[in-house]
Amino acid sequence: MSLEVLIWIALAVLLVMGTPIFVSLGMASITVLLLSDIPLSLVMIDLIKVSDMFPLLAVVGFVFAGALMERGGMAAQIVEVASMLVGHIRGGLGIVTILGCMFFASMIGSGPGTVAAMGSIMIPSMIKRGYSPEYAAGVSATGGTLGILIPPSNPMLVYGIIANVSISALFTAGFVPGALVGTCLMFTAYTIARRHGYKGTMHSYTMAEFGRALLKNIWSLMAPVVILGGIYAGICTPVEASVVAVWYALFVGFFITKKLSLKEVFNAMKLANISTGTILIVVGVSTIFGRFLTMYQIPQQLAAQMMLYTTNPILILLLIAALLFFLGMFMETLATIVVLAPVFLPIIKSVGIDPVFFGVFWVITNEIALLTPPLGVNLFIAMNLSNLPLERVAKGACPYIFLLILVVFFLIFFPDVVTSLPKALGMY
């Protein structure tokens, strides 16, 4: 058996056994390296290289900032304004949830973090107003997927590093698809609510009341402008913007909302350490895995084999989408990126697919992965918040999963929806 086949078999067996992804990658890589002529000293060299990946610091900053914003009451202020804007519409609380997720996603870049922040507020509110628990959990879990699409996005950061693509271009490319997906999700939430007779808040606000709410919550509403504005204005890099986000969250939490305490900051720090530690370990061991793939030219071999059957970019994207839909049920978003991006990039480049488009396409397919068991991270968070069994939460998310699949197909046939904005701004 060749080493190229052995590494994939070892990885598959370890994953099926339920071994954590970073352990599976590391064990499969080292086992094969022991049987090859590649010196093991390269393992330490590759792990040290991870510490030199400066853009990864942005992931740490945005995760920490998101935890601070949730505990500092910024999420609640966003919900208040969104509720005044669209809460009176039939099924308005579902629309408020999606809108709130879109806004909060533009500050933290995390899908599960967005579900936790918005779901903890909106799920109890919807159930209290007569919405079914399945609807409340389903719309919250789905809205949270926007956390990895609307910039800043942690998966886009990691993809940009691996693919050597401009992170600013990726962030800009995520705006139009993010708005498209968010609008479609809100329409779906409205349609389901209308069919079941769910009502809104039954209270319309005057422009004066809405204006006062905007003024009261202006610090939270300005967060995306401060964070993303610095990146696009060329004032700061994504890493520096993540640090700005942390300081901004601390300022608002301590001096504006006054809901942050040293204890909450410490808890947010612990959460950020756990989350980012996991990410960095996965990226670290994936470099060893990538080293083997590169030295044995496995991506090039796979690209050559695939192109024997088709060189049509649409068919190749459909095949990759099907594979990512399947793998997303078992592998976390960042894991699929660090493992498969080095494999797919030579293939998509050889048939003329834009790497920036491919990054956004990948993230949208992984939005579906956040909603599909047995992994389905967003489902588990919504399950805990709603006290429902997993199958009932998944049932509530099913209409939105179907919608996201349609969006993926739409973008495959109309890629300019993704790339037109960054190209118009001359980002690449």
Contact 109, 151 (CB under 8 A): yes
352-371 residue pLDDT tens? 999 999 999 999 998 998 89
| 278 pLDDT more than 80 | no
Q: What is the pLDDT of residue 177?
A: 96
300-311 residue pLDDT tens? 676 677 777 788
> What is the residue-wise DSSP string for 307-330?
HHH---HHHHHHHHHHHHHHHTTT
| 133 pLDDT more than 80 | yes
Q: What is the pLDDT of residue 199?
A: 79
Integer angstrom CA distances of residue 108 from 243, 282, 285, 307, 404: 12, 20, 25, 39, 21
- Whose CA is closest to 64, among 270, 286, 372, 349? 270
Contact 359, 174 (CB under 8 A): no
Contact 162, 417 (CB under 8 A): no
Q: What is the pLDDT of residue 1?
A: 60
| 148 pLDDT more than 80 | yes
Q: What is the pLDDT of residue 219?
A: 93
| 274 pLDDT more than 80 | no
Contact 255, 247 (CB under 8 A): no
Contacts of residue 292, defined as CB under 8 A and 6 or more positions apart, other chains included, come to 3, 7, 29, 32, 33, 36, 38, 298
Q: What is the pLDDT of residue 230?
A: 86
Of 14 and 4, more confident = 14
Locus of tokens 């609510």: 193
Q: What is the pLDDT of residue 50?
A: 65
Angle at CA of residue 65, ends 324 and 98, nearest 5°: 55
Secondary element (H or E) of residue 133: helix 133-144
| 299 pLDDT more than 90 | no
Which pLDDT band holds residue 350 (cuts at 50, 70, 90)?
Answer: confident
Contact 42, 280 (CB under 8 A): no
Which pLDDT band holds residue 271 (cuts at 50, 70, 90)?
Answer: confident
Q: What is the pLDDT of residue 186?
A: 94
Q: What is the pLDDT of residue 270?
A: 87
Locus of tokens 């304004």: 81
Which residues in 229-262 are b (16+ Cβ under 10 Å) and which e?
ebbeeeeebbbebbbbbbebbbebbbebbeebee
Tokens describing residue 87: 């809460």
Q: What is the pLDDT of residue 363?
A: 94
Of 378 and 330, more confident = 378
Which pLDDT band holds residue 110 (cuts at 50, 70, 90)?
Answer: confident
| Angular region, 206: left φ>0, alpha ψ -120 to 50, beta rest | beta
Alpha helix stretches (DSSP H) within 164-261: 167-173, 175-196, 207-216, 218-221, 223-232, 238-251
pLDDT, mean of residues 150-177: 91
Tokens describing residue 282: 């996965």
Which pLDDT band holds residue 258 (cuts at 50, 70, 90)?
Answer: very high
pLDDT, mean of residues 380-388: 87
Q: What is the pLDDT of residue 310?
A: 82
Rounded to 10 degrees, the C-alpha dihedral 13/14/18/19 comes to 180
Q: What is the pLDDT of residue 336?
A: 80
Q: What is the pLDDT of residue 343?
A: 83
Q: What is the pLDDT of residue 48?
A: 72
Of 425 and 48, more confident = 425
**Average pLDDT, whole number, for the chain?**
85
| 275 pLDDT more than 80 | no
Q: What is the pLDDT of residue 399?
A: 95
Which pLDDT band holds residue 52 (cuts at 50, 70, 90)?
Answer: low
Q: What is the pLDDT of residue 123?
A: 92
Angle at CA of residue 87, ends 85 and 93, nearest 5°: 135
Q: Among 75-89, 312-326, 341-355, which is the least confidently predicted range?
A: 75-89
Sign of CA dihedral 144, 145, 148, 150: negative
| 418 pLDDT more than 70 | yes
Integer angstrom CA distances of residue 336 from 23, 292, 327, 373, 378: 14, 17, 8, 16, 17
Give the rounded percent of residues in the chain with a pLDDT score beyond 90. 35
Q: What is the pLDDT of residue 137?
A: 94
| 70 pLDDT more than 90 | no
Give the separation between CA 166 and CA 157, rounded to whole angstroms: 9
